[in-house]
Structures are given as C-alpha cells and as structure tokens.
Amino acid sequence: MDYIITDAGLKVLEERGLKQVIDENFDELYYFNLGVMYEEDIQEYIQNNRVNPLLVEKFSKDEVEDGDEFRVFSYIIPNELARTGKIPSNLSDDLMTAIGAYFLTKSYTEQFTGRGHYAFRNSQFLTCIHDDVHGDFFLQQYNHVPKKDLQPRLFQDRSQLIKKLEEQDCGRLNGHYGYWIPFLTHLIYFCCQTSQEVPFKDNFNQVFYNRQLFPEEPGMMAEGEIERLKYQGEEDVKIKECLPEYPGFEKQREQGWEFRGEMEKSQAFIINGNLVYCNLDEAGEIEFYQQKFKPAVIFTPDMIEQAIYGTIKSIINGAGRNQPQDPGLVLKYFPYHNF
C-alpha cells in the first residue's frame, strides 16, 4: 500500500456521507477495480473521464511506474460512483484523492485470502492481523499520522487527507501457523507485566463462546503452549516466564525469569511501557542491553484489547490451523498468579 487515508481524511468522508457510500458499494467496486488497464485503455480513460491535469502530465512523460498510483489517483472509483449517481460529480480534487486513498486502505484491510482477519485503528497505527491459505500468521502495521516533512504535495493538496507511506511507516510481523497462540500469550504477558487488566480474562466465555467453552482439550497446534501454561499454574512449580523488559532485563535475569516472545525472526520486548517486536540481527540475536533495536511493530497499551479481540476472533474463524477452543483455554489456564 503506497498511500493511506488519514484520520482527517476519514472525518471529512464521514461528514459528507462519502465513506458510507464506499462501504455500501465496496464489493462491487473492488472487483471492478481489479482489471488491468493497458496504455491505450489509460489514454481512452483520460479522454472520457475527469482526471487531474497533473496526472495526465505524468502519464504523457511515462513517469507512472505501475498501476497502483493510477487506480488510486486517476479517480476511477469516484468517477464510477458519480456515473451511477451515488455521489456528486463535482467533488474537489482533495476529496477525489481521499476517496481513492480510503478505498485502497479498505482493500488492504478486508480482502485477504485466509480464513481469519481483523483490522483496527488507533490514533497512530492501522494494524491488520490475518492468515493466508496455509494458516500462517501475518501482521501489517501502518503509521497513518501525517508528517509535514514527509507529506507529498501531490496535486498541490495541503489538506493532509491522505498520506504517502514511507518505508519507516510500514511494519510487519510474520510467523508460520504455529505462532497464533504464542502471539496471544505475548499480549497477555504484556498486560500482566505492566499491571494492566487482561481484556476478556473474566468474561471470555461469554464474549467468544456464548458461555459454552467446549471441548476442554486443545487442538494439536496449541497443545504444547497450553500444557506449558497449565504446568506453570501449579502451586509447587518454580518455573516462571515473562517478556524481557528494557530497561530491567538484568534484574529479571537475576530473579530467575525465563524469557518468552519469539516470533520467527522477531522478539517481543516491553520497552517504555509498549509491547515492541524487534527484528533479529544477522546473527539471529538482539543485543537489547546495548539498545540495538530494530522495531518491527509496536503495540501501545490502548491497542492491546483490540489486538487480543482480533486474534481470538480470527482463530475462532479458522486462522492458523487452530481449534476454536484454543484461545479460550489460554485465557483459562494462563498463570496470572505468577505476576
């Protein structure tokens, strides 16, 4: 995704009723917009439809490298909606581009090939959790807050309804299908270690299972993780696990904690009160005591409830080759008393 709708852009589209129109017609427009447009089709479209003059100039100089920019900013979506009378045909350029950016953002959060997905937005990030056809774990995160020094002056638009995403605005966390349940436990560890209430700890059965968590046996993919949680919950067991904190790692190690948080090529840390996944270095390690952090994704405290909800909902819907009861058993047997 090259461009994203900002909070200001969403607000404007909502106030004018344009977001609702796009949402209601999204499926039809999504498949309409997938068509490949060859050079002759592009020129014909420019002649027969409203397209910003700056974009026409870019096409005439062959400065457009691929179709994504055209699909968003050539106004295909608003032109199509205007043609059918669903929105006005005299919208300003910034509203036209905002519609395109919102459509692209929505496409990236709702059209996945797997069985489970969930997207949520806070004041800084748009976070998408989903699986693929193999059940593998994927998480994309986009910083949607405009930065004046990075905001492009595309179409001389200074309203900041859209944002061009730079490399540092995009985070990613990947894992094979066995990482869905460990990711959920990382979120719970974070809550316990930062003295926050664990979302759904006391009402997960009602929220996710209609008060009927069944069966009690975990699925094969989650069995090892859940048995480990059960074992730590026994009163005479001295093994305790947590996420490494920075600062504070050395103290944790002296106290005998074992560390969790692995996600293939990433490691979860608690840094400055946030849950931060850092990329491993070339040697496969992170020397976090030397502050060699390479953040992959960040969860601020206000994001944790949505992350837990989305992860559980995705698993229940079939993500990750897990069984629906698995996340419920994690919440049931997690050793809260260790914290």
> Tokens standing for 196?
């926050």
What whole-number distance in Å separates Cα of residue 292 and Cα of residue 305? Answer: 29
CA nearest 93: which of 46, 149, 54?
A: 54
Q: For the chain, where are the alpha helices, taking DSSP H only?
A: 7-15, 18-24, 26-32, 39-48, 53-60, 67-73, 76-83, 93-110, 180-193, 204-209, 223-232, 249-254, 304-316, 326-333
Q: Is 298 helix (H, G, I), strand (E, B) or coil?
A: strand
Please report the pLDDT score of residue 86 as a whole number.
96
CA pair distance 93, 83, nearest whole angstrom: 17
The DSSP secondary-structure symbol of 142 reads E
Would you give per-residue pLDDT tens digits along the chain (339 residues)? 888 999 999 999 999 999 999 999 998 887 776 555 677 777 788 888 888 776 777 667 666 666 667 777 778 889 989 999 999 999 988 898 899 899 989 988 887 767 789 999 999 999 999 999 899 999 999 999 987 644 444 544 555 888 888 899 999 999 999 999 999 999 999 999 999 999 999 999 999 999 999 888 999 999 999 999 999 999 888 889 999 998 888 899 899 999 999 998 899 999 999 999 998 766 656 555 555 667 899 999 999 999 999 999 999 999 999 999 999 999 999 999 999
CA dist., res. 273 & res. 195, Å (int): 10
CB-based contact 79:93 (threshold 8 Å): no
**Helix runs in 17-166, H state only:** 18-24, 26-32, 39-48, 53-60, 67-73, 76-83, 93-110
Measure the CA–CA gap between 240 and 186, rounded to whole angstroms. 14
Is the pTM of the predicted complex or chain greater than 0.75? yes
Residue 268 structure tokens: 């979860």
Question: Running DSSP on this structure, what letter comes out for residue 216?
Answer: S
Residue 108: per-residue pLDDT = 86
Q: Are 245 and 269 in contact (CB under 8 A)?
A: yes
Report pLDDT for 149: 46
Peptide bond into 215 cis (omega under 30): yes
pLDDT, position 70: 73
Find, among 124, 144, 179, 169, the residue nearest to 303 by Cα: 124
Cα gap 287→204, rounded to integer Å: 37
Q: DSSP labels for 18-33?
A: HHHHHHHTHHHHHHHT
Our measurement of the distance from residue 259's CA atom to the centroid of its chain's CA atoms, rounded to an integer in Å, reads 25
Residue-range domain boundaries for the chain: 3-111+162-167, 177-338
Q: Output the DSSP codes for 243-278.
A: --EETTHHHHHHTT-EE--EETTEEEEEETTEEEEE
Cα–Cα dist 315/326, whole Å = 8
On whether the CB atoms of residues 257 and 240 are closer than 8 A, the answer is yes
Residue 4: count other Cβ atoms within 10 Å of its Cβ. 23
